[in-house]
């Protein structure tokens, strides 16, 4: 009986150790998946950002680029508070003109309690930035967090302007710009992934190329 009891205690101990190991491995796998998804999402978002202002004559901050804070999604539209200067928000909309018809695209980072992450606002025809904001968007997921994960991890969009003496520059790309966009994505580890893109098609002063 004593031997049986000792055996049962040993088995229970091994089961507990196995359970803890599985939990640790599962958590590590989840964290690695989230980090990888975030890095991939930021890379894709950065590629889209590089097109901002393309083909627009005298592309400028006030007319062809809009940053919104506290923005929310209702059906297929987003609305928030415009930020006129440098700042951090959760929606960025930009204009391009690859042909006669101008088009708009953007990024949306949900900030509510039920969802975080990052979505692409798929490029569409628009007469202006304000026109784009007032019409429906197609949302394409880049980074997705909902209540099915343990902790929601925020993504934010930060806009920084640069004067003509110290413009931003793209890695490995000729030219310079006066606006940069930094995407910040929180990680499960408590660290933050950052990705900064220089908008080479934009100048703070219309008609002036840094």
Query: pLDDT 10s digit of each residue in the chain, 210 long?
Result: 565 445 555 454 455 544 444 444 444 555 566 667 788 889 999 999 999 999 999 999 999 999 999 999 999 999 999 999 999 999 999 999 998 899 999 999 998 777 788 999 999 999 999 889 889 999 999 987 655 555 677 899 999 999 888 888 887 777 788 999 999 988 777 788 899 999 999 875 555 544
40 inside domain: yes
Is 116 domain-assigned? Answer: yes
Rounded to whole angstroms, the Cα distance separating 101 from 117 reads 31
Residues in the chain: 210
In a domain, 24, yes or no: no
How high is the pLDDT of residue 18? 43
Reference 43, options 104, 118, 103; nearest CA is 118
14 within a domain of the structure (yes/no) = no
In a domain, 6, yes or no: no
Domain region containing 142: 29-198
The overall pTM is greater than 0.85 = no
Is 105 part of any domain?
Answer: yes
Distance CA 28, CA 101 (A): 48
For 68, list phi and psi in degrees, rounded to 5. -120, 145
| Per-residue buried b or exposed e for 119-150, using 16+ beta carbons within 10 Å of the residue's own CB | bbbebeebeebeebbeeebeeeebbebeeeee
Tens of pLDDT along 24-52? 444 455 556 666 778 888 999 999 999 99
What pLDDT, on the 0 to 100 scale, is given for residue 23?
Answer: 43
pLDDT at 2: 61
What is the pLDDT, as a whole number, of residue 65? 96
Ramachandran sector of residue 53 (left: φ over 0; alpha: ψ -120 to 50; beta: rest): left
Does some domain include residue 9? no
Q: In this structure, what DSSP letter does residue 168 have?
A: B
Is 74 inside a domain boundary? yes
How many distinct structural domains can be found in the chain?
1
């Amino acid at each position: 009986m004593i031997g049986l009891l000792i055996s049962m205690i040993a088995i229970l101990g091994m089961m507990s150790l196995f359970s803890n190991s599985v939990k640790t491995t599962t958590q590590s796998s989840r964290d690695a998946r989230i980090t990888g998804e975030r890095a991939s999402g930021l890379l894709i978002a950065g590629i889209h950002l590089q097109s901002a202002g393309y083909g627009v004559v005298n592309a400028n901050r006030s007319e062809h680029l809009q940053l919104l804070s506290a923005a929310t999604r209702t059906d297929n539209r987003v609305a928030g508070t415009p930020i006129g200067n440098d700042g951090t928000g959760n929606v960025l909309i930009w204009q391009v003109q690859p042909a006669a018809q101008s088009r708009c695209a953007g990024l949306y980072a949900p900030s509510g309690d039920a969802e975080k992450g990052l979505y692409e606002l798929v490029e569409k025809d628009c007469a202006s930035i304000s026109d784009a904001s007032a019409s429906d968007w197609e949302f394409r997921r880049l980074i997705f967090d909902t209540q099915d994960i343990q902790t929601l991890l925020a993504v934010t969009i930060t806009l920084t302007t640069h004067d003509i003496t110290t413009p931003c520059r793209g890695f490995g790309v000729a030219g310079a710009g006066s606006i940069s966009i930094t995407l910040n994505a929180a990680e499960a580890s408590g660290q933050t992934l950052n990705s900064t893109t220089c908008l080479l098609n934009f100048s703070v002063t219309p008609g002036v190329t840094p």
